[in-house]
Chains A and B, each alone.
Chain A
Amino acid sequence: KDWALVIHGGAGVISQDMADSVRQAYRADLGEALSVGEEILKGGGSSLDAVEQVITFLEDNPRFNAGKGAVFTHDGGHELDAAIMAGDSRTAGAVTGIRTVKNPISLARMVMEHSEHVMFAGEGAERYADERDVERVNQDYFYTERRYRAWRRAIKEDEAQSSVLGDKDRSPAPAPSEGGDRKFG
């Protein structure tokens, strides 16, 4: 086999009663993501380029929880993570807590190829992006109505739960030494 390519757009409980039009749209987007990678690999391009370009395509697609279409944090913002790794050289690059980079996978690759580190986090990752030629956006770019509504629902569930449980029941379960079974570590 000359080349091979596999992609995912997230796993979990995906509603089976999704409208046909939405189902078709997801399938079409996944097919288009495959085409991006096929073109690179067929043409003798590298697996790293295929991975970066396919993920860039998926980050730009608001249907998926990455880049545009990212979910909301508790505070109502967006914090993105990405990582890339080359198997032959066993080199890797990762960024976490990114807030203003349009395609985090590209910054992760820059960390791998142009820095002496593997991972940059939060403010440091943003400062590293300042030094690189990488496209920047503001937080509104990541907004989608669907994720906003999901966030509002999650906040309401949190509030409902804390009002029912009250603070006393939200303390962590007793440590194993006190007979609890919750893992600490």
Chain B
Amino acid sequence: TVGCVALDKEGKLAAGTSTGGMTNKKYGRVGDVPVIGAGTYASDVVAVSMTGWGERIMEAVSGHTVSAYMKHKPASLEEAADYLLREVLEPGEAGMIAVDRYGNMLMDMNTPGMFRGMSDSEDHREVAIWK
């Protein structure tokens, strides 16, 4: 699975995810990626792309959970990610990337690793694989 979230100069947020699914998947199994609100979601508050165990990410309605938590709690992106990855999902189940409307960037996971990278107009640039 690959994903990207972005905030542009007009302040618009977008999220995208693409995947080959799960090795040996059977008979039309659909994972979280194409389920809007689960593996891929963008609102006026945050853009989110998930990766990991699709069934668990769908059951947690993950992308929308992050956006709603930020809006209604209210909470920061970091607090919302922490809630999703450490209170809702179990260890080893998922990784997520997100960017909020202020340009705060997040790469977080409860798995041992995630191929990831981030960059912004203030020259914060990072590529990583493990925790």
Minimal Cβ-Cβ distance residue in A for B13 = A87
Contact A66–B115 (Cβ < 8 Å):
no
Question: Assuming A74-B25, A80-B20, A105-B16, is B51 touching A6 (CB within 8 A)?
Answer: no
Contact A5–B14 (Cβ < 8 Å):
no
| Residues from chain A with Cβ under 8 Å of B44 in the complex | 87-88, 90
Interface-forming stretch among A46-54, A126-134, A172-180?
Answer: A46-54
Contact B118–A9 (Cβ < 8 Å):
no
Residues of chain B from 1 to 58 with CB closer than 8 A to chain A in the complex: 1-28, 30-31, 33-36, 39-47, 49, 51-52
We find that the number of chain B residues with CB closer than 8 angstroms to chain A is: 77
Residues of chain B from 99 to 129 with CB closer than 8 A to chain A in the complex: 99, 101-107, 109, 111-122, 125, 127, 129
Question: Assuming A10-B2, A50-B14, A82-B16, is B121 touching A87 (CB within 8 A)?
Answer: no
Q: Is A141 an interface residue (CB 8 A)?
A: no
Q: Is B84 an interface residue (CB 8 A)?
A: no
Minimal Cβ-Cβ distance residue in B for A157 = B24
Contact A82–B118 (Cβ < 8 Å):
no
Interface size for chain A: under 10, 10 to 19, 20 to 34, or 35 or more residues? 35 or more
Number of A-B contacts (CB under 8 A): 311
| Residues from chain B with Cβ under 8 Å of A48 in the complex | 12, 14
* Least distance between A46 CB and chain B CB atoms (Å): 5
Contact B33–A11 (Cβ < 8 Å):
no
Q: Flag A140-181 by CB within 8 Å of B: 1 or 0 each.
A: 001000010011001100100000000000000000000000
Contact B114–A8 (Cβ < 8 Å):
yes
Contact B40–A83 (Cβ < 8 Å):
yes
Q: Is B70 an interface residue (CB 8 A)?
A: no
**A interface majority secondary structure:** mixed
Contact A26–B14 (Cβ < 8 Å):
no
Question: Assuming A42-B121, A95-B34, is B51 touching A50 (CB within 8 A)?
Answer: no
Contact B8–A55 (Cβ < 8 Å):
no
Contact B40–A94 (Cβ < 8 Å):
yes
Interface centre among A10, A90, A108 (most CB of B within 10 A): A10
Contact A27–B127 (Cβ < 8 Å):
yes
27 contacting pairs across A/B (C-beta < 8 A):
A4-B7, A6-B97, A6-B98, A6-B117, A6-B118, A7-B97, A7-B117, A12-B112, A13-B92, A14-B113, A30-B116, A31-B127, A37-B4, A37-B119, A45-B8, A46-B12, A48-B12, A54-B4, A70-B19, A71-B25, A79-B20, A79-B25, A82-B33, A83-B33, A85-B16, A96-B34, A151-B24
Contacts from B to A (Cβ < 8 Å)? 1-28, 30-31, 33-36, 39-47, 49, 51-52, 92, 94-99, 101-107, 109, 111-122, 125, 127, 129-130
